[in-house]
């Protein structure tokens, strides 16, 4: 395996952008971060992400055990690239179409159980979200396979660092905004983020599809 520090850095940064695109979409994790921040302080967002990471580690281990047997095989690589690419294009176009939607969180309905902390809420918010599994078994698997093919365990770690950095940065920011009582983001800024992320995901998805097709 031949790789450079620059290649790993670019790979990790790409994982960060993809992860950030997913984190910015309103969902159970966003709700958990806001509610826990209202109950405690800005550190709650980081704790929620730790719970999210705990859930992801389990999925990563299961996927790694399976992917280790298909490295170098053409058919699984092509299939994962095309399926993951299609999912990315679908997610990206949906992000662009949903740019007019505002973040609305009803903290009175379905509040996380007060008996449990933010780490627990992060874990349950992840495992109860179908999108979580769809993402990991398509896009996540594609990135993991590429990282393993590129540099083995080092490539996988590069992907995970970039991916988790996006979660910590976004939900940490959300918690700070929530604790200070400010609006999460202005509508125009949020729309700009969604359009940018959607465009990036669509382009990356097209690249994955192309990469799969040329390797058939």
Residue 112 is predicted with a pLDDT of 46
35 to each of 28, 42, 194, how far by Cα in Å?
A: 11, 11, 23
Residue 80 near residue 209 (C-beta atoms within 8 A): no
Query: Which H or E run includes 188?
Result: helix 187-214
85 to each of 54, 147, 163, how far by Cα in Å?
A: 26, 16, 17
Residue 89 near residue 201 (C-beta atoms within 8 A): yes
Neighbouring residues of 165: CB distance < 8 A, sequence distance ≥ 6: 16, 19
Residue 106 is predicted with a pLDDT of 45
Altogether, the residues listed in the chain come to a count of 216
Distance CA 22, CA 19 (A): 5
Q: How many CA atoms lie within 13 A of 176 on its CB side?
A: 7
Residue 97 is predicted with a pLDDT of 82
Residue 51 is predicted with a pLDDT of 94
Residue 140 near residue 59 (C-beta atoms within 8 A): yes
Residue 99 is predicted with a pLDDT of 62
pTM of the entire predicted model: 0.75
Quickly count: other Cβ atoms within 10 Å of residue 82's Cβ: 21
Residue 215 is predicted with a pLDDT of 84
Distance CA 92, CA 202 (A): 5
Give 3-state DSSP helix, strand, coil % of the chain, rounded to 5. 80, 0, 20
Structure tokens at 188: 């125009």
DSSP state of 98: G
Domain boundaries, the chain: 13-214
Among residues 47, 65, 50, 38, the alpha carbon closest in space to that of 182 is found at 38
Q: What is the mean pLDDT of each run of 10 residues along the chain (216 residues)?
A: 83 92 75 76 86 93 80 79 87 77 47 64 82 84 90 93 94 82 60 79 88 86
Residue 112 near residue 36 (C-beta atoms within 8 A): yes
Give me Rg for the CA atoms of the chain: 18
């Amino acid at each position: 395996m031949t790789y450079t520090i620059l290649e790993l850095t670019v790979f990790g940064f790409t994982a960060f952008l993809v992860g950030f695109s997913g984190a910015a979409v309103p969902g159970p994790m966003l709700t958990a971060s806001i509610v826990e921040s209202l109950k405690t302080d800005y550190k709650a967002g980081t704790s929620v992400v730790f719970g999210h990471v705990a859930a992801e580690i389990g999925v990563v281990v299961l996927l790694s055990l399976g992917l280790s047997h298909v490295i170098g095989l053409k058919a699984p690589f092509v299939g994962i690239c095309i399926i993951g690419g299609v999912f990315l294009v679908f997610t990206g176009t949906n992000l662009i179409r949903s740019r007019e939607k505002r973040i609305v969180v009803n903290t009175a309905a379905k509040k996380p159980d007060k008996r449990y902390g933010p780490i627990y809420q992060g874990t349950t918010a992840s495992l109860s979200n179908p999108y979580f599994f769809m993402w990991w078994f398509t896009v996540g698997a594609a990135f993991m396979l590429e990282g393993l093919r590129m540099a083995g365990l080092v490539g996988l770690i590069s992907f995970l660092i970039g991916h988790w950095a996006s979660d910590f940065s976004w939900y940490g920011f959300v918690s700070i905004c929530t604790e200070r009582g400010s609006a999460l983001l202005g509508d125009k800024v949020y729309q700009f983020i969604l359009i940018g992320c959607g465009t990036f995901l669509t382009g990356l998805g097209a690249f994955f599809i192309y990469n799969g097709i040329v390797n058939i």
